[in-house]
Amino acid sequence: MYKYHCLNPIAEVGLDRFTTDYAQTAKVEEADAILVRSAAMHDMEFSENLKAIGRAGAGVNNIPLEKCAEKGIVVFNTPGANANGVKELVIAGMLLASRDIVGGINWVQEYEEDGNIAKLAEKQKKQFAGHEIEGKKLGVIGLGAIGVLVANVATHLGMEVYGYDPYVSVDSAWKLSRSIHHATSVDELYKECDFITIHVPATEDTKNLIDKDAISIMKKDVVVMNFARDVLVNGEDMVDALVSGAVKRYVTDFPTPEIAGVKNAIVIPHLGASTEESEDNCAVMAVAELKDYLENGNIRNS
């Protein structure tokens, strides 16, 4: 019988499904396997028994991959299991950014004067007006599980979608979605699109993918969306672009000190995968992978 330690109550759902014999505690000294969501594990002492880590989510930047490789610890993640939750928030972010919906809601929340708010709203609403997304161009960088779902919904909303992914051939990308225009370079996508959304993992190659050079190629008034990882966008360059007006709005799921409070940044506290459905899907997939490895030696994904 293996010992599992669960580092996040959310991950418990998966363990409940398969076994009642687990500990929900941060004490991991004896664990054969650890199930984790986004807790950083870089400074954690691993037990000599530790054989596998299951990450209930797609990104594995909270896990010390080199240390795991040295010790022969297999790392699993759950690609696609929370893709629908993230997709829905990306679409919500795009709609929030297309008009000043956040500004309008804040105006109503902060209204303190006596008087007829409905009448005053009629006068104020001009400043919150925006554009419709139908007919606009959306650039999707990264055609993995989330990128393809976002692209497909956007086409149904009447957008023209440009996709770019250096690791997906045009042929296989066509199989994923016939309605996407496949950009031959990321610069083509930057030049053409009114909205740009990033769905690539954080690696040394993708760090600062969007910096001042990339922004200088983009259309003026572009909306940039980042629901992948904060390091993909250079924070200082993005603040400068928002202040100068080169970027109209930046929608991000990653609050960082430089972006919090910046006008025209819509900052969400990492809620992309925070739905009951996505959390359950990730937890169940992660546990299934761990058990299959520990009990049968199968590596479904690593």
List of residues contacting ligand MLT (CB under 6 A): 37-38, 57-59, 82, 270, 272-273
Q: How far is the CB of 282 from ligand MLT (least distance, A)?
A: 7
Residue the block writes with tokens 């360059």: 237
The answer to whether residues 246 and 215 touch, using CB atoms and an 8 Å cutoff, is yes
- Other Cβ atoms within 10 Å of 146 Cβ, number: 28
Smallest CA-to-CA distance from 86 within 214, 211, 251 is with 251
When the beta carbons of 183 and 282 are compared against ligand MLT, the nearer one is 282
When the beta carbons of 59 and 103 are compared against ligand MLT, the nearer one is 59
Smallest CA-to-CA distance from 267 within 128, 49, 102 is with 102
Radius of gyration for the chain, computed over Cα atoms and rounded to the nearest angstrom: 22
In the residue annotation, 131 being an active-site residue is answered as: no
In the residue annotation, 229 being an active-site residue is answered as: yes
Amino acid at 35: L
Q: How far is the CB of 38 from ligand MLT (least distance, A)?
A: 4
Q: How far is the CB of 78 from ligand MLT (least distance, A)?
A: 7
Q: Which of 99, 131, 181, 270 is catalytic?
A: 270
Q: Which of 88, 188, 192, 258 is catalytic?
A: 258
Q: Measure the CA–CA gap between 215 and 265, rounded to whole angstroms.
A: 15
Could you tell me the two tokens for 197?
């959304």
Could you tell me the two tokens for 233?
């966008």
When the beta carbons of 118 and 167 are compared against ligand MLT, the nearer one is 167
When the beta carbons of 68 and 159 are compared against ligand MLT, the nearer one is 68
When the beta carbons of 59 and 255 are compared against ligand MLT, the nearer one is 59
Q: How far is the CB of 81 from ligand MLT (least distance, A)?
A: 8
Q: How far is the CB of 22 from ligand MLT (least distance, A)?
A: 19
Strands 52-55, 74-76: parallel, antiparallel or unpaired by DSSP? parallel
Residue the block writes with tokens 């979605």: 177
Q: Which of 5, 55, 199, 229 is catalytic?
A: 229
In the residue annotation, 258 being an active-site residue is answered as: yes
Half-sphere exposure of 129 (CA within 13 A, CB side): 6
> Helix, strand, or coil here: 170?
helix
- The catalytic residue positions are 229, 258, 270
